[in-house]
Amino acid sequence: MSPMEENKDLSTFNTFGVSVKAAKFQAIESLEEARQFFTNPPEEEILILGGGSNILLKNDFPGVVVYNAIKGIAIESEDHESVVIRANAGENWHEFVLHCIKLGYAGIENLSLIPGKIGASPMQNIGAYGVEVKEVIESVEAVSTLDGSFRSFTNADCEFDYRSSVFKTRLKGKYFITSVLFRLQKKPTFRTSYGAIQDQLASMEIPESELSIKAISEAVIAIRQSKLPDPKEIGNSGSFFKNPIIPLNMFESLKEQHPEMPAYPAKEGSMKVAAGWLIEQAGWKGFRKGDYGVHQKQALVLVNYGNASGGEIFALSERIIESVEEKFGISLEREVNII
């Protein structure tokens, strides 16, 4: 195990690019190191970091940041219809998607270009363009942060929900994810009805007869690049807020006042409303003050143009939540973890 570092700058370990420091920093590069480290965990508070793509760091962290750097991808099993792939938690998510597409394994092509690492995918139950990662997760392997014991979570054990799982709720901070097993299909089922995928495929002049998981991935990448800023160029964490789910009767009432309000059916008796649209209607799209603001093309994305602090970005999110509540009576919930 590499030596523990002190007073570590975390600006390159979070996609907002916020400059804060960790009192201590420990990289973990294998399951064995994870078990060793957590068998006798430090007494200080622990923060687990992967890609840092879904986190806003408001202040310096006084405890130990544990960085998940466990790499490796391998086929566990396969049959005529599907393959089970083990991907270790420190692998880059988008690179894993492209790897699977190259091998012809389907099921995650709609999740192309989502930032972050494999370990965050079950934690957040990442989703995009009509697909959620829970649909392909076979199991999640993790180490207890309390005693270093190993546990394998079945799909049901993970208690997946919209942008959430047991790892964000009752077991938050209690497990260090080491690997995820995905069951992908050898014969694809194309999912193109959500969002602008069909229009993008048409603009790419890809006929239905030539549809492939690679083409869908390329369409999703093009759409995301047209709407979302690259964190390497402008600090951000992608979608900052969840799309709120509201009762059907509330939606119908709002629809009378705002006929253009975009929404999708959710659980029975409810509708999922586009948070970005709500924020834009409240007048925040393109807002900027100093080095923080709301992206010009996508109101769902809060950005750091250079030297914004986590506190400034958080305060902006508070103001957005208040204004959307005042205008629509809808309470926005942050998708990003606030530390």
Alpha helices in the chain (DSSP H): 31-39, 93-103, 120-124, 197-203, 213-227, 248-257, 275-281, 310-328
Neighbours of 163 (CB within 10 A): 18
pLDDT score for 139: 98
In angstroms, how far is the first alpha carbon of the chain from the final one? Answer: 26
Residue 191 belongs to domain with CATH number? 3.30.465.10
- Section 96-114 average pLDDT: 97
Phi, psi of 115 (to 5 degrees): -70, 160
Give the span between the Cα atoms of 309 and 306, in whole angstroms: 9
Strand partners of residue 182: 85, 137
Does 227 map to a domain?
no
H/E stretch holding 46 reads strand 46-49
Residues 79 and 197 placed together within one structural domain of the fold = yes
Give tens-digit pLDDT for 35-86.
999 999 999 999 999 999 889 999 999 999 999 999 999 999 999 999 999 9
Residues 55 and 94 placed together within one structural domain of the fold = no
Mean pLDDT of the chain: 95
Does 141 map to a domain?
yes
- Position 268 pLDDT exceeds 90: no
Give tens-digit pLDDT for 141-199.
999 999 999 999 999 999 999 889 999 999 999 999 999 999 999 999 999 987 689 99
pLDDT score for 267: 82
Residue pair 115/94 in contact by the 8 Å Cβ criterion: yes
Rg (CA), the chain: 20
- Position 331 pLDDT exceeds 80: yes
Does 105 map to a domain?
yes
- Looking up tokens 């509201």 gives 246
Residues 58 and 164 placed together within one structural domain of the fold = no
Q: Which of 37, 68, 99 is a domain's end point?
A: 68
Residue 331 belongs to domain with CATH number? 3.90.78.10
Residues 168 and 145 placed together within one structural domain of the fold = yes
Give the single-character DSSP code of 301.
-
% the chain with pLDDT above 90: 91
pLDDT score for 227: 85
Residue 13 belongs to domain with CATH number? 3.30.43.10
Residues 89 and 182 placed together within one structural domain of the fold = yes
pLDDT band at 332 (very low <50, low <70, confident <90, very high): very high
pLDDT score for 208: 84
Residues 78 and 143 placed together within one structural domain of the fold = yes
65: Cα separation from own chain's centroid: 19
Residues 57 and 174 placed together within one structural domain of the fold = no
Domain with 249, as residue range(s), is 235-338
Report the alpha-carbon angle 186-157-126, nearest 5: 55
Indicate which residues carry an active-site annotation: 163, 239, 335
Residue pair 80/186 in contact by the 8 Å Cβ criterion: yes
Q: Which of 41, 68, 95 is a domain's end point?
A: 68
pLDDT score for 266: 86
Residues 185 and 294 placed together within one structural domain of the fold = no
pLDDT band at 29 (very low <50, low <70, confident <90, very high): very high
39: Cα separation from own chain's centroid: 29
Does 85 map to a domain?
yes
User: What separation in angstroms does the CA of 43 have from each of 62, 145, 186, 235, 289?
Assistant: 12, 11, 47, 32, 40
pLDDT score for 261: 95
Residues 265 and 319 placed together within one structural domain of the fold = yes
* Nearest residue to 269 via CA among 286, 251, 284: 251
Q: Which of 16, 42, 68 is a domain's end point?
A: 68
What is the residue-wise DSSP string for 51-69?
S--SEE--S-EEEEEEEE-
Does 192 map to a domain?
yes
Angle between helices 93-103 and 213-227 (to 10 degrees): 150
User: What separation in angstroms does the CA of 140 have from each of 41, 86, 302, 308, 335?
Assistant: 22, 9, 31, 36, 21
Rounded to two decimals, what is the model's pTM? 0.89
Domain total of the chain: 3
pLDDT score for 194: 79
- Position 318 pLDDT exceeds 80: yes
Give the span between the Cα atoms of 316 and 8, in whole angstroms: 27
* Nearest residue to 47 via CA among 72, 68, 74, 32: 68
% the chain with pLDDT above 70: 100
Residues 84 and 131 placed together within one structural domain of the fold = yes
Residues 151 and 249 placed together within one structural domain of the fold = no
pLDDT score for 196: 87
Does 41 map to a domain?
yes
Residues 104 and 177 placed together within one structural domain of the fold = yes
